[in-house]
Structure 1
Amino acid sequence: MFFQIRAIVLWPRNPEFKPRRLLFDLGKVNVISGASRTGKSAVIPIIDYCLGSSTCSIPVNTIRKYCEWFGVVVATDQGDKLLARREPGAQRSTDDMFLMEADRITEVPLRIVKNTNADTVKRLLDDLAGLSKLDFTGGDDSAGFDGRPSFRDLAAFTFQPQNIVANPDVLFFKANTYEHREKLRKIFPYVLGAVTPALMAKQFELGRTRQELRRKERELKDAQQVSARWLADLMVKFSEAQELGLTSKLEQQPTRGQMIELLEEVVARTDLTLSVSTSTISDALRELSGLDTEEREVSRELTTLRHRLEEMNRMSSGVDQYEAAIGLQRGRLKLSSWLVAHTDGAADCPMCGSHTDSAKRKLEVLSARLQEVEAEAGVDKEVPAAFDRELQRVTAEVGQATERLRSVQIRKRALSGRSKEASERQFAAKKAERFVGNLESALDLHRSLGSDSDLIDEVARLRETVQRLEAELREQDVDSRKRRALLAVNTHAGRLLPFLDVENADDPISLEISDLTIKVRGAERDDYLSEIGSGSNWLSYHLAMLLALHQFYLAQPSSPVPGFMVLDQPSQVYFPKRVVTRPDEEVEEPLFRDEDIDAVRKAFEVMGQVVLKAEGKLQLIVLDHASRDVWGDIPGVVGLREWRDGVKLVPMKWLNEA
């Protein structure tokens, strides 16, 4: 991934000053050399913060006190992008960010305001890196160690601060914390190219298909169990229908389809009472059968008559209610006739005696309305005599039908008591009716449960898909791809070690992903980095492995890892470090011995060679005490103005005028 730092920008809190810009060369080893307490160690936290870090690690006091915004200009395949983030104040961080994009950013705004947030910038960086939208569990919404790879995870390969660059226990940025270490272990196969986005998509599809297959297999198993019970129940229903005489007995055992067809015929029949009779039925049984038929007919007739009688009673009640309403209106309007009777020619209003047209008109309206109501009430509104005769007839017929029904029921009880056979046949008929009612609903259920052929076909299709995906994933052989990638990285590192200040430079080394450290394979034993002494060894192994990883990433068709790395104080192992100094005490510059200068120079020469070989695709930024005398004439290495004699990250005039 082409992603390099073109500039670092600081915006002062005092608007009278212009922003401070540090310009870097792309595809080179950029060295910021200077004395202690000049702000060199703030460069990594500034870049990290502007690239979406969850916390602000920029040193407090001077830098954060006099700077309002921090920014980086990055060069990408899609042009330059200025990413700036507000100083968080008392908070651990802030989401306030500023984003500017252009083909080439040569000038930056004098003052900026928030126009985006940290989450948006993180998504932009993820897209620039071409990272997969899927997580490592085959989904797209998991969190934690199995969450999708992000640009923030790749910071492990881009920063080597003072506490990491020569650390025997920690090889990668922030790998000293549990959560970062576990996530780095998870994404390593991905950044090595052993697990590709296409492969993750296949793993996701395989996981989803397996889950669907398990669900369908459970459904099929349940359906098959239901099918076995269904067939047994079907045979019981068919046998019971034969016992009740609803279907004839067959010489051979019928198939499932034949049983369903015969039972459906039973449901469709309407002569169930007759079907249970035989040619040898007794006279009493015939009479009882006839009484059953008569009882059903009388019941239907009685229901119809009762419904008609209820409707006629409601109509009669409605007529009475109408007459009462008319009478009420007429009583209320009687006042108008009394008022008309008490008017004379001298006055229009019977109440006050005044002459007003409105009073006269209103009195006329009331009088006219009374006449209409009285005329309507005078019309014969009584129900016609034919209605009363029909009501009496229907009432009489209801009584007659009730008596007929009661008579039939009395005869049935008497006949059933006299004839045991009739009683048994009557019970059989009722049983047959209940059986047919149950059979109809049972057949509907059996039809739905018995049709599982579509489910069988779907399970077979899913199994075939799972087998195909498993075969494709086996062909990818992630473990073999990972071993080959690590072999290439180890080979690159082994070629760089002889040019660095390290003991036993010919001993093969290997990157151990599970432990996130380096193993040195000696003639007699293998040693981890933490088991090897000397700071020069630790520095050399760090440089060799990190540079080897970037060489490997650049050789990949589309690696997501940014093409830059920042190293802070790689030469610190060659001079003693003053742990405690007084605020007013002058900090002495470290004195290098000749052999120390040679060792430091070797490190810069290796970095210069790697960068030149990358042909502009890799950029290194080195923050160090070593002056230009050590690295000044090395190919591929360039330097900014040295931070000495008052030259610092934050200009002195910001401090003096604030």
Structure 2
Amino acid sequence: MTFQISAISLYNMKGEIRTVPFRTGSLNIITGDPRRGKSAILAIVDYCLGSDGFVIRGAALRDFVHVFALTLVKGEEQLFVARPAPAGKAASTTTLCVKFQVQGAPPPALTELDFSMPLDIAKRVLSKFTGIDPAVRLPVARSVRQIPPSVRHGMFFCLQEQNEVANQDLLFHAQNQEFHPAALRAMLPYFLGAVDPERAQREHQLKLLRRELTREQERHDEARPFQPASGTAAALFAEAIEAGLLDPAPVGSLLAQDEILHSLRRVTEPQPVRDLQPAGSEDPLSMLNEERRELRDTYAQTRMRISNLKSIAREKDAFLGQVHAQHARLATLGLLPQASSAIPDQPTQCPVCGSHLEDATETARLMRRDLDRLNAEMTTMGEATPDINARIAQEEESLTDLRNALARNQEQTEVFSAGQRLTAQDDAQRQAAVVHGRISLFLDTMARHTQTALGPDRRDELTTRIAELEEELAGTVQQDVLSSYLSLVNQKIQAKAIALQLEHRYEPLRLDPQALTLIADSPRGPTKMAQMGSGQNYLGYHIATMLSLHEWFSEMHSPVPRFLILDQPSQAGFPDDTRDGGFGAAHATLLNLYKTIQNTIDTLNSDFQVIVVEHADLDAEPFRSAVRERWRLANGQALVPEHWMTDRVAE
């Protein structure tokens, strides 16, 4: 069982309450002129049920209403939910007042409202009141995360704003907002009853295991070139022999992979290198490269020291700032002596205010000691600041010198490489250096993969677990259950399309849970709702879909709030002469729409409530008996009482 709306209440700053009552299990219509607050009914419900933003429009509501509230009923239970209007330029408020009441109790007085419940907690309370299991988590397509269903997801099926009720591109409330389509696709099967929460958990686990198996396979594929079967090591071994870095292997011998790797490691070990150049000569390029390596190491160490010093300075400044702030507050309150006055050092003086004490106590002595220590620490930390800043400046100056040295080294290397006339012996040495570098790179890369990559091979374990889950899930297929349930819902939609005399009513109609729209199948191909033409068709299919879904929700005891709010359905192609009960050409069509709504309510035996705000005012059943209030200029009635605004202007 879930809830319906018993009343909407508004509070002004004086504590006056304006309540609009509704009948549960019935059709409720509020009709009236424009700008009387009718459309705010839907926005107030959305706001009090935990919307993230303050979507209530209109100066009367934003300027003269202090608190918005709902009274919700579920069986014998009653829940009162109040949310204050944002103060100033705030986008919303993040606390609510949620109270359980005796059924039939009126809204509490403004002084009794306690806005202490955070928005996220309030959403959980409302979701539980709706009947949603808080332990349920549902997977979202193309995402590793799961989301819990909430009362906010139920609003997809309970609200139809003025720009949605006849929109050819949007079928559900807020469908065009970011992340909402993905949430709708995840929630629709759940609310239809086609999702077993335990099965959903297993399917999500299966998706994660498959993703993990893919990553594990990629990890092993990346490491494969460095395994013993690789020919890279053998090729480098041959190049090392050719460059004179290794002695040739015995003729006819076939070295194992481990022996080849051992020989390559010997090439990179620190040892006397073969003298490939005349005695007494030095290789300037090698010297420059060695100098560059040392400069880079020193540069990295200097940057690390600067980072550490700046971190220490920030932490010290933050701590000292807090101490000074607290000291200033105490001084402002007169709890500490002024900066110009010394802490009293007479044992009979108060360490705080300096007044004479009849009896010096141990507390006074301890306070004096702590105040002395606090002032000493503040002084010491303050004096340390110039030392740290000077050290940072010194290190940054060293960093600048290192940058200049690296730049000079680069210039010298380029000049030497471009200008030197290489001899044959130089060519041999350069070739040896190139091979030496390639071997070093190969061994470093292999070591990196060996250290971080492999470890235990979990591919067999993951494959086995995936097979077990697939076998567990093979018994029932959620997609088949969903298709079956949607087929039954589609039959209800078609029956209402026939009752409303909509186009395509005799063609098979289906609700597409992926495209989130209605489709009519015909020999000419599928026709989406956006292609069906005419505002009355768009409106009719919106109403038919929402009524059919709520019929199904009721039959399946789904935790969706059992109400539907429609904002001005008569706007879609109905002329203004219906406003005062006129009998224009659209009168019969509009009246038929309300008869279809009433028939659905009657079918569900009071387990469903519809609230409609309208311009039209039909003098025929079931419209006439369903009107709860008429807000017109002629009678001075509106959502916000006129004297609220008059009082504020007078002030």
Superposition TM-score, scaled by structure 1 size: 0.57
Cα distance in structure 2, aligned partners of 1:62 and 1:182: 36
Cα distance in structure 1, aligned partners of 2:65 and 2:53: 17
Deviation for aligned residue 1:464:
5.8
Aligned to 2:559: 560
The amino acid across from 2:114 in the alignment is: V
Aligned to 1:267: none
Deviation for aligned residue 1:657:
2.3
Structure 1's 628 and 149: CA in aligned 2 closer, same or farther, altered over 3 A?
same
Indicate which of 581, 584, 587 corresponds to 1:597. 587
Deviation for aligned residue 1:537:
1.0
Cα distance in structure 2, aligned partners of 1:517 and 1:141: 26
- Tell me the alpha carbon deviations over residues 402-423 of structure 1, each in whole angstroms, 9 at most, x when there is no partner: xxxxxxxxxxxxxxxxxxxxxx
Structure 1 SS opposite 2:585 = helix
The 5 Å alignment of 1:276-315 reads: none
Aligned to 2:52: 54
**Aligned Cα root-mean-square deviation (Å):** 3.6
1:473 aligned to 2:461?
A: no
Aligned to 1:506: 506
Cα distance in structure 1, aligned partners of 2:219 and 2:54: 54
Cα distance in structure 2, aligned partners of 1:628 and 1:595: 13
Cα distance in structure 2, aligned partners of 1:20 and 1:197: 42
Aligned to 1:165: 165
Structure 1's 539 and 137: CA in aligned 2 closer, same or farther, altered over 3 A?
closer
Cα distance in structure 2, aligned partners of 1:526 and 1:207: 32
Cα distance in structure 1, aligned partners of 2:188 and 2:477: 16
Cα distance in structure 2, aligned partners of 1:159 and 1:633: 20
Cα distance in structure 2, aligned partners of 1:567 and 1:469: 44
- Tell me the alpha carbon deviations over residues 451-508 of structure 1, each in whole angstroms, 9 at most, x when there is no partner: xxxx99x998876654343222222212211211211111110111121142343222
Q: Retained in 2: the 8 A contact 1:69–1:85?
A: yes
Cα distance in structure 1, aligned partners of 2:193 and 2:101: 31
Aligned to 1:121: 122
Aligned to 2:608: 618
Deviation for aligned residue 1:522:
3.3
Aligned to 1:136: 139
Q: Retained in 1: the 8 A contact 2:71–2:81?
A: yes
Deviation for aligned residue 1:125:
2.3
Structure 1's 518 and 80: CA in aligned 2 closer, same or farther, altered over 3 A?
same
Cα distance in structure 2, aligned partners of 1:131 and 1:171: 27
The 5 Å alignment of 1:189-338 reads: 189-206=189-206
Structure 1's 220 and 31: CA in aligned 2 closer, same or farther, altered over 3 A?
same
Structure 1's 38 and 473: CA in aligned 2 closer, same or farther, altered over 3 A?
same
Aligned to 1:187: 187
1:490 aligned to 2:493?
A: no
Q: Retained in 2: the 8 A contact 1:135–1:141?
A: no
Deviation for aligned residue 1:58:
0.7
Cα distance in structure 2, aligned partners of 1:498 and 1:86: 45
1:569 aligned to 2:572?
A: no
Cα distance in structure 2, aligned partners of 1:527 and 1:212: 41
Q: Retained in 1: the 8 A contact 2:171–2:542?
A: yes
Structure 2 SS opposite 1:487 = helix
Structure ID, larger Rg? 1
Indicate which of 15, 19, 22 corresponds to 1:21. 19
The 5 Å alignment of 1:433-444 reads: none
Relative to total residues, which structure has the larger helix share, 1 or 2?
A: 1
1:657 aligned to 2:618?
A: no
The amino acid across from 1:72 in the alignment is: L
Q: Retained in 2: the 8 A contact 1:575–1:590?
A: no
Deviation for aligned residue 1:179:
2.5
Deviation for aligned residue 1:547:
0.8
Structure 1's 192 and 652: CA in aligned 2 closer, same or farther, altered over 3 A?
same
Cα distance in structure 1, aligned partners of 2:27 and 2:14: 33
Structure 1's 82 and 218: CA in aligned 2 closer, same or farther, altered over 3 A?
same
1:100 aligned to 2:124?
A: no
Cα distance in structure 1, aligned partners of 2:513 and 2:134: 20
Q: Retained in 1: the 8 A contact 2:598–2:622?
A: no
Structure 1's 141 and 87: CA in aligned 2 closer, same or farther, altered over 3 A?
farther
Deviation for aligned residue 1:203:
2.5
Structure 1's 643 and 204: CA in aligned 2 closer, same or farther, altered over 3 A?
same
Deviation for aligned residue 1:204:
4.2
Count of residues in correspondence between the two structures: 415
- Tell me the alpha carbon deviations over residues 425-472 of structure 1, each in whole angstroms, 9 at most, x when there is no partner: xxxxxxxxxxxxxxxxxxxxxxxxxxxxxx99x998876654343222
The amino acid across from 2:640 in the alignment is: V
Cα distance in structure 2, aligned partners of 1:551 and 1:201: 28
Q: Retained in 1: the 8 A contact 2:503–2:537?
A: yes
Structure 2 SS opposite 1:106 = coil
Structure 1's 99 and 464: CA in aligned 2 closer, same or farther, altered over 3 A?
same
Deviation for aligned residue 1:591:
7.2
Identity %: 29
Structure 1 SS opposite 2:86 = coil
Structure 1 SS opposite 2:103 = coil
The amino acid across from 1:641 in the alignment is: E
Cα distance in structure 2, aligned partners of 1:521 and 1:468: 39
Cα distance in structure 2, aligned partners of 1:138 and 1:201: 13
Structure 1's 513 and 208: CA in aligned 2 closer, same or farther, altered over 3 A?
closer
Q: Retained in 2: the 8 A contact 1:138–1:204?
A: no
The 5 Å alignment of 1:265-414 reads: none
Q: Retained in 2: the 8 A contact 1:31–1:621?
A: yes
Unaligned runs of 5+ in 2: 222-227, 229-455
